[in-house]
Structure 1
Amino acid sequence: MAEVINLNRARKQAAKQAGRKQAEANRLTFGRTKLERQQSQKNEAARVSRLEGHKRDSAEKNDGEV
C-alpha cells in the first residue's frame, strides 16, 4: 500500500526547494566578495576619471567658431 503523506508538508518542502534554487541562482548572479566590489568601484572610478580627462572644454569649441 502507498505511504500516506501530509500535503501541507509536501507543499512547504517543494516551496523550500524552489527557494533554494532561486538563492543559488542569485548567488551566482549577484554574489561578490567585498574585495571584488571594492576593486570594481575603483576600476569604474579610474575609467570615469580617464574619460573626463579626455573631454574637450566648451571654451575650446567656441574659439574655432568665431
Structure 2
Amino acid sequence: MSKPVNLNQIRKARARAEKKAEADRNAVAFGRSRAEKSLDRARKEKAERGLDGKKRE
C-alpha cells in the first residue's frame, strides 16, 4: 500500500509555487534599475525609427 497523502498540504504547496512563479515574473518585469529601463527604451525607440525610415508609401 502507498502512504496516505494530505491533500491540503499539496494544495497549499501548489499555491506557494504559483505565487513564487508570479513573483519571479514580476521581478523580471519591474525589478530593473532606471538605467536599464532607459537603455531598453532607447533601443526600442531606435528600432522603431529604423523601421519607420524604411516604410514605403
TM-score of the pair, normalised by structure 1:
0.48
Distance of 2:4 and 2:26 partners within structure 1 = 35
User: Is there any run of 5+ residues in structure 2 with no aligned partner, and where?
Assistant: 39-57
Cα offset, 1:3, TM superposition: 1.6
The gaps in structure 1 that reach 5 residues or longer are 42-66
Higher Rg:
1
Q: Which consecutive aligned stretches of 4+ in structure 1 deviate over 3 angstroms post-superposition?
A: none
Q: Provide the aligned C-alpha RMSD in A.
A: 1.7
Q: How does 1:1-66 map to 2 (within 5 A)?
A: 1-32=1-32, 36-37=33-34, 39=35
Q: Deviations over 1:21-44 (max 9, x none)?
A: 111000000112xxx33x468xxx
Post-superposition shift, 1:14?
0.5
Q: 1:5 deviation in Å?
A: 1.0
Provide the aligned length of Structure 1 versus Structure 2: 37
Structure 1 residue 19, shift from structure 2 partner:
0.6
SS of 1:2's equivalent in the other structure is coil
User: What is the identity, as a one-letter code, of the residue corresponding to 2:30?
Assistant: F
